[in-house]
Structure 1
Amino acid sequence: MRPIERKVYGKIKEKGISMDDVLEIIDSTSKQEMKKSFQDDCLFQSDKYFAKTIINSLLRSRLIKQEGNRFFKNEKKKEKE
């Protein structure tokens, strides 16, 4: 998991997170921190590209799930014995 993905995943609360929230997180992130996560793409890609890449990566690894236009942590239900 990239450092920026870990940061976005940590910001997801019970209400979930939207694409606009992810864009705000990326906007507040410094260029050096973005370069740690995306070495090749950092200079010429838009914030929307990074947001889509981060969300798609978290969806593929099944850490989050999408409900409408919001994303929630994919929590496993605890079984009571």
Structure 2
Amino acid sequence: MNRSLVLPAADIVLAVLAIALAALCWNLGLRNTDVPATGDVPAYTATRYVGPWLFLVMLLVAGAGSAVIDAVARLVRRSRRV
């Protein structure tokens, strides 16, 4: 197996997994609460943001971006060498 193709492929797989995990963490980072109407106050939905989950999303997206940049750099370097 050619090592110069395995590492970029692993970077792309890692990036896809990181983005999928980031989507899951984003859903965990948003909490919606339905508040019923009381008296003169109408019903509404309150959204609460959970900081640690959203911070993890930011780290995962940054890591996925770095992995894609690394994969592209390795492929460009390989094509220039051949």
TM-score range, shorter chain: under 0.3
TM-score, structure 1 as length reference: 0.28
TM-score, structure 2 as length reference: 0.27
Over alpha carbons, which structure has the higher Rg?
2
